Amino acid sequence: MPRKTVEIEPRVEYLSILDEHGVVDAALDPRLDGDLLARMFRYMLATRRLDERLINLQRQGRIGTYGPTRGQEAAQIGTAMSIGPEDWTAQAFREMGMMLVRGWGMHMPMFFWGGHEEGNVVPEGVNDLPIAVPVSSQTLHGVGIAWAMKLRKTNNVCLTYLGDGGTSEGDFHEAMNFAGVYSLPVVFIVQNNQFAISHPRRMQTRSKTLAQKALAYGFNGIQVDGNDILAVYVAAREAVEKARSGGGPTLIECVTYRLSVHTTADDPTKYRSEEEVRQWEKRDPLIRFKKYLMERNVLDDASVAGVEEDIRGQIKEAVDYYEAYEGVDPVDPFRYCLAEPSAELVAQQREFEAAMRAEGLMR
Amino acid sequence: MPRKTVEIEPRVEYLSILDEHGVVDAALDPRLDGDLLARMFRYMLATRRLDERLINLQRQGRIGTYGPTRGQEAAQIGTAMSIGPEDWTAQAFREMGMMLVRGWGMHMPMFFWGGHEEGNVVPEGVNDLPIAVPVSSQTLHGVGIAWAMKLRKTNNVCLTYLGDGGTSEGDFHEAMNFAGVYSLPVVFIVQNNQFAISHPRRMQTRSKTLAQKALAYGFNGIQVDGNDILAVYVAAREAVEKARSGGGPTLIECVTYRLSVHTTADDPTKYRSEEEVRQWEKRDPLIRFKKYLMERNVLDDASVAGVEEDIRGQIKEAVDYYEAYEGVDPVDPFRYCLAEPSAELVAQQREFEAAMRAEGLMR
Amino acid sequence: MAMLTMVKALNLALSEALREDADVVLLGEDIGQDGGVFRVTEGLLEEFGHDRVIDTPVAEAAIAGAAVGMALYGLRPVAEMQFSGFAYQAFHQVEGHVSRFRNRTRGRYSLPMVIRMPYGAGIRAIEHHSESREAYYAHTPGLKVVIPSTPRTARALLRAAIFDPDPVIFYEPKAVYRAMREEVPDEPEALPIGKARIVREGSDITFVAYGAMVRAAEEAADDLADLDGVSAEVIDLLSIAPMDTATILNSVEKTGRLVVIHEAPRRCGVGAEVSARVAESGIEHLCAPIRRVTAYDVLFPYFARERAHLPSSDRIVGAAREVLAF
Amino acid sequence: MAMLTMVKALNLALSEALREDADVVLLGEDIGQDGGVFRVTEGLLEEFGHDRVIDTPVAEAAIAGAAVGMALYGLRPVAEMQFSGFAYQAFHQVEGHVSRFRNRTRGRYSLPMVIRMPYGAGIRAIEHHSESREAYYAHTPGLKVVIPSTPRTARALLRAAIFDPDPVIFYEPKAVYRAMREEVPDEPEALPIGKARIVREGSDITFVAYGAMVRAAEEAADDLADLDGVSAEVIDLLSIAPMDTATILNSVEKTGRLVVIHEAPRRCGVGAEVSARVAESGIEHLCAPIRRVTAYDVLFPYFARERAHLPSSDRIVGAAREVLAF
Ligand SMILES: Cc1ncc(C[n+]2csc(CCOP(=O)(O)OP(=O)(O)O)c2C)c(N)n1
Ligand SMILES: Cc1ncc(C[n+]2csc(CCOP(=O)(O)OP(=O)(O)O)c2C)c(N)n1
Ligand SMILES: [Mg+2]
Ligand SMILES: [Mg+2]
């Protein structure tokens, strides 16, 4: 009959390996092989450059509103590289780095942000979900996929991405709870980029970390320096291994920063200071990783220049493909509404086509 | 750049004062005054007897499906007695004990479970919400009320009730999060009665306690023996004082047991053992509290008999009132849809009345 | 052949599907151990185990959203919402995702899944347990919406829904659950989704109904025949989306008169859609106004007042007489 | 008098209400510091402070549900859903509670609250940002549903909504937000909820539209006048629920012909309701089928294809000609 403090299990950890100056914690350095490290760098740089190009395309009116990735490359690429092609991902809408790792072509974001469903046609052989716009709604799909994996007795996992803002939605809660109850092979990756549009992290929730939200569901949470790809990768690999071997879910909070606008329709000067952005620019995940790779002789100036050159070429190719695309047919929504169009849809399609012809929009 | 365990704040406590044998922890005994204790007992007994009568009325077809309270009297009455009339409550659908404390007449549950909106017409002067059927949906209303209290700079609080099943709904999460972010004067009271219909607590969530869910939102949780009205009352009083003085929300998990069926339409033999029920019957909140009161000379056999007698009379009066009620007018939904009926509602009401007349259901 | 209630017929369809196809899984609140609050899933946990018949926490969005994920991975989930009145907790998943994956991914993904839920009044239940809001789903492109009216149609439509390549909202009229028995064939059967059923032929007036209202429409047709010598044709829609416009138009062409019946509120209900289709494509055959006999645009009352707010055969007869007298 | 866009007109109505009534509070995502993603609430935080203009976490059910609690306590909350496409996260609160408190408590409680949300296509936004689903709310008894079409009607209806004793769903056509300016009087004005507006009188055919489609209907009327010498009457519903049936019926009595226009899908949409009301109470005046010019019953496309899926003045003209030629 006492008054006592309840011991809370499981635990919440914090992990950082490569600091913002590019100094590595030797004890924690996973000593990844050079090839893997170089691939990580290549994806990070590709994401950065493609992001810049997309902003540029938006400014020129060649795509619509675009939501940049700048600053979040380590969080996305470090996690995405921890799984294999038979594993799955459920993304939100700012995971371009992850998509590149997973094998979406560089033209895909152009289509998506250019207003084409084509940008959501997940490439054959890639086990990802399309972009999910309603905040956190995808977390439940990730859970459902992990559940199906478990029911089918595979040892695959599903990475489920969301933002700091996403942790406030009811869907996130229900997803976390189901993941815990059924001990599902799902890893929740919260990219805490400090903002939900204009709403700062500290007003998103009162808890000290987002990682500790896992305690409410009886599994582990870990907060990592999300701009440190080594820490992100190590944490993700551990969580993925745990999930694969039947250990259930993990929540990984990647502490990072949205260095750019929320979307190109956003004006962040309304809600944050230039000074704050400058502070975070010093912690840019690319700068420190490049330094680390140079010091480890994985990269040198020449190889970096080569990678830049390759990426430039790939981006150009993607833009050319996007702009030359001639598949845009407004009848498509009738084709893809149901597997077999109903009689009423056939009739409406006829009406639609007649109207289009009358308007000269179709032959 | 370390790997370290994150210190989680705030805390989760456990509290029990009066054990199932009626033995009190002298150090923790709040030594409440006899009058208060006697009132507590009276409400507990009234709730128990009214509950029995309602089951009886249901069996006789005089009301519809009914959801009993048996076993949860301490959790409800202990919390409800910790606040005053200017404070508010937001209830689910099994809080009859709380309702009696707050001043709802004994006839009200008869009307509600008898299929009459009259059972949800919160008595004038009583600051409660009506019964909310959708699980956990009321938690957000409680938060809104607490928010308005804070904006209006009152020092009132809102008690918000839910069940163990209710903690799984997205609404609960969003309510807890808003309560934390805005530091609202709300106390969440989870009556963990071990079941959500047939679904056992251990499959509702993987966390060790429900109280620890508060950690996800940055405020305190406390788990109390929910069959111990002293512990419940002490925990509630502390949480209420904290909320009143600007300290923000608390989650109280009352560990209790639904001694009866989920509703009269339910057959619990499908999902739990008689043995388990018998174990919990030994922990009945009334038995231990009565023993405590007898030992403290707050009650004796004669006074208990007197209370029983009073309650019997009150219940009879309520049943008589309910059965004599003649206000049931099917036109009411037209009267209470909008403040001023629209032209289309007036026309539909006319159509409705004509149909009723044609069917001989109305003059 | 067995004489089954709708509850048993649904149970049969579920057990057949579970047996035939290892991809079929059921999930929902209290569907396993308890056998469902209406006993629709009784005995299935025992036969098929916890991996096929899954009890869930109280979280409707999770039930629907996880079913989406399962379907994407290749299963055929059949999710239960315990009551249609609590399906709105999942409405964002239904509107935002269940209906959209095929179109969004240009057919790369599809969602062969069913969301079953009991709807409608008449069983003396508490608030939120008596509404009929099929129109919400019918107004949502990308969903099929199916409503059986009898045990046999329930079993055959549920089978069709489970094996349909697209998501189906399966609305079960709980007033019919145990109200009647019907012969159900021993062999599994499926009805095509999107086809209405002419329950009884007639020449003077057309009644369009579905779910529990089919019975009321039939009674009204009986009364009209007996009392007024009027011959009413009764159409049971069975599928709300897609809707079998042809059967409705053919009937109205013959009868020239139309009454639509449903339990749902009138404004923007399925009755409005039926009426609008006829006003669009069959108006030249109409000899009279189209009447809707429905619940009213007020909150559906708690059960003490519910009977007065439900379409009755008398009200249908009344509306029919007005239309016939026009 | 000032020439304002709809965005500015809404901002004006909000600031007037905040100034006049200390009970008015605004809450929503990004409405404070940021001034709203469409700038509708710009400057309000600065003028009225954090207790009146409240930025919230990303949680729509909480926004709606907390607003319910605030209204119960005596405030007049005006909640914003950032886009109508994310209001479904709160749909259970709207269907289950916002619409019900007056009836449930027999008037003991009521909910003087507004839920504002931008809806509709035409601004090249990503998925979920372009749909129009007013019918979901119109089908929900206990709610009023209001849709302005111009800056002046927006300001006057928002004022009426805020001071209405009942909950109002305030649907804002974002395609109109900055597309036009209109003179708005200096003094606050309110329009009665439930009254349609005859935008232009005519004698040959009636167009019923609302929101962004009013402009398209007017253009179609212009074209018909210019090209065919046809006189079209254009009705702007302004209020979907309650709906001003009398104005529609009066017009149809005069013109005998009706085309209903909306951006929402057709099945069980507001067009069906308008059509059904006329088929019920005005059929004797109709000389031709009622046509609906709407979006189709398919998923609304991403923006590259959106124009083709929106009712255009050409399509309205086309439908009108068919009706006129009948
Ligand atoms: C359910 C829902 N509500 C609102 C929005 C509008 N919205 C788009 S992004 C966003 C903020 C999301 O913040 P966060 O989860 O931190 O992701 P980030 O944008 O930072 O990547 C909001 C509110 C939405 N897309 N979905
Ligand atoms: C949103 C919602 N989903 C489902 C139901 C059906 N239902 C009624 S009570 C209940 C279980 C609730 O469990 P709990 O919260 O533990 O409360 P208890 O019944 O134990 O008091 C369920 C699932 C409901 N009322 N609301
Ligand atoms: Mg963010
Ligand atoms: Mg419980």
Per CATH, domain C197-325 is 3.40.1010.10: no
Facing B148 at nearest CB: one of D64, D70, D245: D70
Q: What mean pLDDT is predicted for residues C259-279?
A: 98
CA distances from residue A168 to A205, B174, C289, D80 in whole angstroms, order as listed: 7, 6, 51, 17
Taking alpha carbons only, the member of B138, B136, B156 closest to residue B146 is B156
pLDDT-derived band of residue C190, with 50, 70 and 90 as boundaries? Answer: very high
Per-residue DSSP letter, A81? T
Q: Which fold has domain D2-184?
A: Rossmann fold (3.40.50)
* Amino acid of residue A100: L
| Whether A336 contacts chain D with CB within 8 A | yes
The 3-class SS string of B87-153 reads CEEECCCCCHHHHHHHCCCCHHHHHHHCCCHHHHCCCCCCCECCCCCCCCHHHHHHHHHHHHHHHCC
Mark yes or no for CB contact B117/D104 under 8 Å. Answer: yes
Partners of residue C29 in chain B, C-beta under 8 Å: 196-197, 199
Burial environment of residue B361 by CB neighbours within 10 A (0 to 12, 13 to 18, 19 or more): middle
What's D95's DSSP letter? I
**Residue D53, CA distances (Å) to B155, C231, D30 in order:** 22, 63, 10
Nearest neighbour of D139 by CB, restricted to C88, C103, C135: C135
Contact indicator for D113, D67 with CB cutoff of 8 Å: yes
Output the pLDDT for position B74: 98
C10-32 tens-digit pLDDT = 999 999 999 999 999 999 999 99
- The pairing of strands A195-196 and A199-200 is antiparallel
Decide: C299 and D141 in contact? Cβ < 8 Å.
yes
Strands C24-28 and C53-55 turn out to be: parallel
User: Ligand 2, atom 6: nearest CA belongs to which residue?
Assistant: C82
Q: Side-chain half-sphere of B267: how many Cα atoms within 13 Å? A: 10
Q: Is the pLDDT of residue B262 over 90?
A: yes
- Nearest CB to D276: which of C139, C272, C286? C272
Whether C1 shows a pLDDT value over 90: the answer reads no
Mean model confidence pLDDT for chain A: 97
Question: Which distant-in-sequence residues (6+ apart) come within 8 Å of A200 by Cβ?
Answer: A194, A271, A272
Q: What pLDDT, on a 0 to 100 scale, did the predictor assign at position B1?
A: 61
- At A58, the pLDDT band (50, 70, 90 cuts) reads very high
Torsion angle, alpha carbons of A2, A7, A8, A9, to 10: -130
CB contact under 8 A, B333 and C61: no
Task: Say whether A334 and D126 touch across the interface (CB within 8 A).
Answer: no
Considering only residues 216 to 235 of chain A, which have any Cβ-Cβ distance to chain B shorter than 8 Å?
216-219, 223, 225
Active-site option among C92, C128, C129, C139: C129
Residue B337's nearest CA partner among C263, D100, D161 is D100
Nearest-CA neighbor of A219 among A255, A192, A256, A246? A246
pLDDT tens digit sequence for A305-360? 999 999 999 999 999 999 999 989 999 999 999 999 999 999 999 999 999 999 98
Instruction: Enumerate the residues of chain A whose CB falls inside 8 A of the CB of residue C64.
Output: 140
> Is residue C107 exposed (0-12), middle (13-18) or buried (19+ Cβ within 10 Å)?
middle
Q: What's the start-to-end Cα distance of chain A, in Å?
A: 82
pLDDT of residue B229: 98
Torsions phi, psi for A335 (to 5 deg): -75, -30
**Position B348, amino acid:** Q
Token output for B288: 């231990």
> C298 to chain D: nearest residue by CA?
D141
pTM over 0.80: yes
Give the burial class of A152: count Cβ atoms within 10 A of its Cβ; 0-12 exposed, 13-18 middle, 19 or more buried. middle
Distance CA A129, CA A102 (A): 11
CB D237 within 8 A of CB D244: yes
Which positions 260-279 of C are in contact with D (Cβ < 8 Å)? 264-265, 267-273, 275-276, 278-279
- The mean pLDDT value of chain D amounts to 98
Gyration radius (Cα) of chain C, Å: 19
Contact call for B207 and A223, based on CB within 8 A: no
- The neighbour count for residue C249, using CB atoms within 10 Å, is 17
The predicted-structure confidence for C138-149, as pLDDT tens digits, reads as follows 999 999 999 999
CA-to-CA dists, residue A317 to A40, A60, A106, A107, A326, angstroms: 22, 18, 9, 8, 16
User: Could you report the per-residue pLDDT of A249-287, keeping only the tens digit for each?
Assistant: 999 999 999 999 999 999 999 999 999 999 999 999 999
One-letter identity of residue B182: Y
How far apart are the two ends of chain C, measured CA to CA in Å?
Answer: 46
C-alpha of residue B191 to centroid of ligand 4, in Å: 7
CA distances from D289 to A351, C290, D220 (A): 16, 13, 19
Q: Is the CB of B195 under 6 A from ligand 2?
A: yes
Question: What mean pLDDT comes out for the span B142-165?
Answer: 98
Task: Name the maximum alpha-carbon separation found in chain A.
Answer: 82
Cα–Cα distance for residue pair B11/B336, rounded to 1 Å: 46
- CA–CA dist B138, B134 (Å, integer): 8
Mean pLDDT of C51-79: 98
d(CA B241, CA B264): 38
CA distance D38 to chain C (A): 22
Q: What is the ipTM of this complex?
A: 0.98
SS3 of chain C: the string is: CEEECHHHHHHHHHHHHHHHCCCEEEEECCCCCCCCCCCCCCCHHHHHCCCCEEECCCCHHHHHHHHHHHHHHCCEEEEECCCHHHHHHHHHHHHHHHCCHHHHCCCCCCCCCEEEEEECCCCCCCCCCCCCCHHHHHCCCCCEEECCCCHHHHHHHHHHHHCCCCCEEEEEECCCCCCCCEEECCCCCCCCCCCCEEEECCCCEEEEECCCHHHHHHHHHHHHHHHHCCCEEEEECCEEECCCHHHHHHHHHHHCCEEEECCCCCCCCHHHHHHHHHHHHCHHHCCCCCEEECCCCCCCCCHHHHHHHCCCHHHHHHHHHHHHHC
Ligand 1 atom at shortest distance from the alpha carbon of A263: 19
Contact partners for chain D, using 3 or more CB pairs closer than 8 A, are A, B, C
Q: Note the helical H segments in chain B.
A: 34-59, 73-80, 96-102, 107-113, 137-151, 170-181, 201-204, 229-244, 274-281, 285-295, 301-324, 332-335, 343-358
- pLDDT, one tens digit per residue, over D132-153 is 999 999 999 999 999 999 999 9
Q: Which of D92, D97, D128, D129 is catalytic?
A: D129
d(C-alpha C303, C-alpha B117), whole Å: 9
Position B111 confidence tier, pLDDT thresholds 50, 70, 90: very high
State the pLDDT confidence band at D121, using cuts at 50, 70 and 90: very high
Domain with CATH 3.40.50.920 in chain D: 197-325
Using DSSP, state whether B327 is helix, strand or coil.
coil
Query: Could you give the CA distance from residue C304 to residue C313 in angstroms, rounded to a whole number?
Result: 19
Q: Is A145 on the interface with C (CB under 8 A)?
A: yes
The pLDDT of residue A1 is 61
CB pair distance less than 8 Å for B197 and C33:
no
Ligand 2 pocket residue status of B165, Cβ below 6 Å: yes
For residue D178, CA distances in Å to B297, D6, D199 come to 76, 6, 20
Residue B361 has pLDDT above 90, yes or no: no
Position D23 scores a pLDDT of 98
User: Is the Cα torsion angle B314, B316, B319, B321 positive or negative in sign?
Assistant: negative
- Chains with 3 or more CB pairs under 8 A to chain B: A, C, D
Q: What kind of fold does domain A13-324 have according to CATH? A: Rossmann fold (3.40.50)
> What value does the mean pLDDT of chain C take?
98
Q: Quick one: pLDDT at residue B360? A: 87
Q: Render pLDDT for B63-77 as a digit per residue (tens, 0 to 9).
A: 999 999 999 999 999
pLDDT digits (tens, 9 = 90+) for D4-28: 999 999 999 999 999 999 999 999 9
B319-339: average pLDDT: 96
- How far apart CA B70 and CA C273 sit, in angstroms, is 49
- Tell me whether residue C129 is one of the annotated catalytic residues: yes
- Position B105 scores a pLDDT of 97
Nearest atom in ligand 1 to the alpha carbon of residue A262 is 19
What is the DSSP secondary structure assignment for residue D192, as one 8-state letter?
P
In chain C, CATH 3.40.50.970 covers 2-184
- Token pair for residue B50? 């009214």
Query: How many whole angstroms separate alpha carbon B147 and alpha carbon B185?
Result: 7
For residue C92, report the distance from its CA to the centre of ligand 1, in Å.
Answer: 15
Angle at C41 between CA C35 and CA C47, to 5 degrees: 90
